[in-house]
Amino acid sequence: MEIFSFLIFIVSYMLVPSLKISAATLSVSQYVTDGETLVSNSGVFELGFFSPGKSTKRYLGIWYKNITSDRAVWVANRENPINDSSGILTFSTTGNLELRQNDSVVWSTNYKKQAQNPVAELLDTGNFVVRNEGDTDPETYSWQSFDYPSDTLLPGMKLGWDLRTGLERKLTSWKSPDDPSAGDFSWGLMLHNYPEFYLMIGTHKYYRTGPWNGLHFSGSSNRTLNPLYEFKYVTTNDLIYASNKVEMFYSFSLIKNSSIVMIVNINETMSDIRTQVWSEVRQKLLIYETTPRDYCDVYAVCGAYANCRITDAPACNCLEGFKPKSPQEWSSMDWSQGCVRPKPLSCQEIDYMDHFVKYVGLKVPDTTYTWLDENINLEECRLKCLNNCSCMAFANSDIRGGGSGCVLWFGDLIDIRQYPTGEQDLYIRMPAKESINQEEHGHNSVKIIIATTIAGISGILSFCIFVIYRVRRSIADNFKTKENIERQLKDLDLPLFDLLTITTATYNFSSNSKIGHGGFGPVYKGKLADGQQIAVKRLSSSSGQGITEFVTEVKLIAKLQHRNLVKLLGFCIKRQEKILVYEYMVNGSLDSFIFDKIKGKFLDWPRRFHIIFGIARGLLYLHQDSRLRIIHRDLKASNVLLDEKLNPKISDFGMARAFGGDQTEGNTNRVVGTYGYMAPEYAVDGLFSIKSDVFSFGILLLEIICGNKNRALCHGNQTLNLVGYAWTLWKEQNVLQLIDSSIKDSCVIPEVLRCIHVSLLCVQQYPEDRPSMTLVIQMLGSETDLIEPKEPGFFPRRFSDEGNLSTIPNHMSSNEELTITALNGR
Ligand SMILES: *[C@@H]1O[C@H](CO)[C@@H](O)[C@H](O)[C@H]1NC(C)=O
Ligand SMILES: *[C@@H]1O[C@H](CO)[C@@H](O)[C@H](O)[C@H]1NC(C)=O
Ligand SMILES: *[C@@H]1O[C@H](CO)[C@@H](O)[C@H](O)[C@H]1NC(C)=O
Ligand SMILES: *[C@@H]1O[C@H](CO)[C@@H](O)[C@H](O)[C@H]1NC(C)=O
Ligand SMILES: *[C@@H]1O[C@H](CO)[C@@H](O)[C@H](O)[C@H]1NC(C)=O
Ligand SMILES: *[C@@H]1O[C@H](CO)[C@@H](O)[C@H](O)[C@H]1NC(C)=O
Ligand SMILES: *[C@@H]1O[C@H](CO)[C@@H](O)[C@H](O)[C@H]1NC(C)=O
């Protein structure tokens, strides 16, 4: 040991080694003088006096015992060196550690919690601690050197804050290799709402890591993939008030081989943070990585709203959609002014909502001015941002598991760089191009155009023609009828909701709120400020429904009141937005039950019979009892909703037509309805009547009994649809085979048979053969003999081919239940 120590002494004369075998601990009665050292139990670290570089001053420090370096990893009296070798480390009468030169105290610990029987120990981690004798719980240490880092981070050390005590652990560089007093560089955690680490030069930001996104720091994504060490960022919360953060810190640990020596420190001469590994072979510290890595890591090198891409020349480019604030300076490579939006934001104008553009693979901007809520989702986040004019961007705060939490940025977005890939998408606020609706429209068009480019030029042409036609039509619609509508709606006694109420209730029509897709647009679930749940039907401007249909629907439904019809609560009309607000049905639509083998069991036969009756009564009301005679024209399982007691309510009157008094039949060149439910005369000739609704009811009845869709084949019989199959079984006197296995146990055979019989009467080919709804209800409710059904109107195969649907341009979904809204020229 003596020989080894002697060698070190030769190599590094500044480290004065101990000339006696050292212990790791120091008790109250002991002291360390210059020339003596403490050595950790396994001999990894040593504590003693040293002089750095060319300096002759004496400092108390800790260093790796085996590393011949004059750099101590920790220095006690950085700011107060000792001129000679008279320094002494000992315990004071108060139990604090003191470094004294003669009688003056050069440095001391200052802890509140008095140790009863204090000992100081240098641990094998490099941590020098004061604790009660026998106490090994780090939480109860009176003092530890890890809480007061110098310029070096060792494995297991924490960099960050203890918010209970207000203790900040940060690294501060030396002034020079000869002077360990605090230099200009520091590396620490800034306590923003969305915190991140900064390397500072004085008070200037020089580099930031980016905030922690759950997996890594936004600005150092590929550091996760390294074989040597792993790192973590920890936020611990108060046990009682979970929202109170008590500790936030970064630390790293060696993965496999704890005998590797690895340190992270600030290099004051090269102004960077470097990770170094000790090479036993070369007997020196080798650089493992340095930060900042490149030019693009330098803080705000490209200014606001600009993107640094290290592979580009020049590296700075405005974000897509932005332009240089000062084009001249920009082109002369002075990027400090950054970029601006080409058009100012339109935040203040109610009708022109800003929108957000998604950017992928960015190091997210400086988080100094941010707001964080870890408990809300991306859609709520978007709405929060939209509603605050100074919010410029938002993102998920945590990218794990598909993303969660919300962070908003206020003010200019600074210090962005581009990575080839990235998981934390940033949504940046951009001014509205047009009114809300057209914005979305435009968005879709772009996507569709890209798709069609691939598909072929002819596709583009026909698409463009279609878009032009649509846009012109909707503009014309808008101008022609706007005042007209307002006049019409004024005399309706129905609440008019404003758009903001609706967007708030539905989280700005978030996809999470979406509960379905009705005939003319999506349906959202919402919650009003008073807690009432609503269903919001947003009529899409790209659907066939113009203002005319909208007014029709509002006028009709406002007058209809029946317990088997969904109640309209109000509406909203604003520019292109046409919205209907209905009562919300907790149990959703009938199709979600009867076509689902598991949920289907929940609807036993008595419940299904009750539902069948309810639908029949609702339809009868539409056909006969209401003051107007209304043909629904799109009755189907997905248009029957169930309330909390599973009472059926018919919904979606968008295509209903009102007829005065005795008019029972009409003709239209615009067929609306859903294949599979449409009566043949209606689908083929556009002839509709109350009897076409009866046909749809018959189909629905069969579906409720069979648990299969009409268009989906019932039992793998490839040539027949459900009606055809039912008819075949009827003729074979074998209709009980139709019964859904979910209701086999609960069904009352005579009732089911009667229902099948009635349904076959309803789907007869000729409208005049079909019963009216009055008769249907009588037949369902009595035990009288029924007439024999004639052959049903088989649905022509060509209409049920998916191929035919594709010629109808305005449907993006392949959903076979989709309502067909435009089939002009028949
Ligand atoms: C330090 O070096 C000595 C001699 O090379 C060796 O025996 C000892 O194991 C080393 N200690 C550590 C902790 O690496
Ligand atoms: C150390 O040097 C400084 C400045 O030269 C002087 O003021 C101080 O008294 C000296 N202290 C000792 C212990 O010599
Ligand atoms: C420290 O003590 C020694 C011996 O007692 C004395 O010679 C020296 O001058 C003292 N230094 C200071 C700065 O008081
Ligand atoms: C990590 O990213 C930097 C900067 O983008 C790149 O230069 C480096 O090659 C990447 N390293 C790995 C291992 O992907
Ligand atoms: C750890 O590293 C030491 C020195 O580099 C090496 O001798 C040893 O085999 C390593 N152990 C493991 C488990 O990798
Ligand atoms: C700082 O960097 C220089 C140049 O690479 C190197 O010579 C010096 O040892 C480094 N200092 C520290 C403390 O790592
Ligand atoms: C927008 O957010 C900022 C920062 O949180 C806040 O100071 C301001 O009051 C907010 N403005 C509105 C209108 O909510």
Atom 12 of ligand 1, residue of closest alpha carbon: 44
The protein residue whose alpha carbon is closest to atom 3 in ligand 1 is 66
**Any idea which residue has 């026998």 for tokens?**
134
Best mutation site among 193, 384, 385, 410 for ligand 7, i.e. most ligand atoms within 8 A of its Cβ?
A: 410
Encoded tokens for 390: 């100074």
- The dihedrals phi and psi of 501, each to the nearest 5 degrees, come to -60, -45
CA distance 181 to 199: 18
Q: Is 297 a catalytic residue?
A: no
Ligand 1 contacts (CB < 6 A) are 42-44, 66
Q: One of 634, 652, 693, 740 is an active-site residue; which one?
A: 634
* Nearest atom (ligand 1) to Cα of 261: 14
Q: Number of C-alpha atoms within 13 angstroms, CB side, residue 465? A: 6
For ligand 4, atom 8, which residue shows the shortest CA distance?
222
Element (H, E) at 4: helix 2-11
Which of 516, 722, 519, 696 is CA-nearest to residue 619?
696
- Ligand 1 atom closest to Cα of 66? 1
Q: Residues of the chain whose pLDDT is less than 70?
A: 1-22, 68-69, 113, 221-225, 240-243, 257-258, 348-352, 433-493, 518-520, 540-553, 556, 575, 625-628, 653-673, 712-719, 794-826
- Nearest-atom number in ligand 1 for the CA of 42 is 13
3-state helix, strand, coil in the chain (%, to 5): 25, 30, 45
Nearest ligand (C-alpha, residue 311): 4
Residue nearest to atom 13 of ligand 1 (CA): 44
**From the alpha carbon of 4, which atom of ligand 1 is closest?**
4
Confidence (pTM): 0.56
Alpha-carbon distances, residue 292 vs 191, 204, 217, 275, 309 (angstroms)? 21, 15, 13, 12, 14
pLDDT of residue 394: 96
Which of 491, 487, 547, 540 lies closest to 518, judged by CA?
Answer: 540
Q: What is the pLDDT of residue 437?
A: 39
pLDDT at 653: 64
Whether the CB of 267 sits within 6 Å of ligand 6: yes
Count the helices and strands in the chain (H runs, E runs).
16, 46
Q: What's the DSSP call for residue 687? A: E
102 Cα to the center of ligand 3, angstroms = 6
Residue 214 in contact with residue 399, Cβ under 8 Å? yes
Tokens of 595: 């076509």
- Edge to edge, the sheet with strand 179-190 lists 171-176, 179-190, 196-201, 204-211
Atom 11 of ligand 4, nearest CA residue: 222
Cα 66 to ligand 1 centre (Å): 6
By three-state DSSP, how is residue 622 classified?
helix
Task: Give the closest residue (by CA) to ligand 2 atom 5.
Answer: 83
| Pair 593, 599: CB distance under 8 Å | yes
User: Residue 136 Cα, ligand 5 centroid: separation in angstroms?
Assistant: 28
Distance CA(79)–CA(81), nearest Å, equals: 6
Return the pLDDT at 499: 84
Q: Which residue type is seen at 518? A: G
* Tens-place pLDDT, residues 47-73: 999 999 899 999 999 999 988 667 899
Closest CA to 573 of 597, 555, 595: 555
Which ligand is nearest the CA of 71, by number?
A: 6
- 99: which DSSP letter? E
Q: What is the pLDDT of residues 505-531, one digit of tens each?
A: 888 888 888 887 765 678 898 888 888
Q: How many CA atoms lie within 13 A of 65 on its CB side?
A: 25
Handedness of CA 358, 359, 361, 365 (dihedral sign): negative
pLDDT at 456: 45
Residue whose tokens read 């509508």 = 485
Choose the residue to mutate in 217, 221, 222, 228 for probing ligand 4, maximizing ligand atoms within 8 Å of C-beta. 222
Task: Note whether 74 and 197 are within 8 A (CB).
Answer: no
Per-residue model confidence (pLDDT) at position 18: 37
Residues with CB under 6 A from ligand 2: 83, 101
The model's pLDDT over 326-369, given as tens digits with 9 standing for 90+, comes to: 998 888 888 888 999 988 887 766 666 788 999 998 999 999 99
Listed residue (742, 740, 752) closest to 780, CA to CA: 752
Q: How far apart are CA 784 and CA 521, in angstroms?
A: 43
Q: Are the beta carbons of 273 and 264 closer than 8 angstroms?
A: yes
b/e for 133-154, b at 16 or more Cβ within 10 A? eebeeeeebbbbbbbbbbbbbb
Distance CA 195, CA 470 (A): 48
Which of 323, 319, 364, 357 minimizes the C-alpha distance to 340? 323
Q: Which pLDDT score, from 0 to 100, does residue 517 have?
A: 75
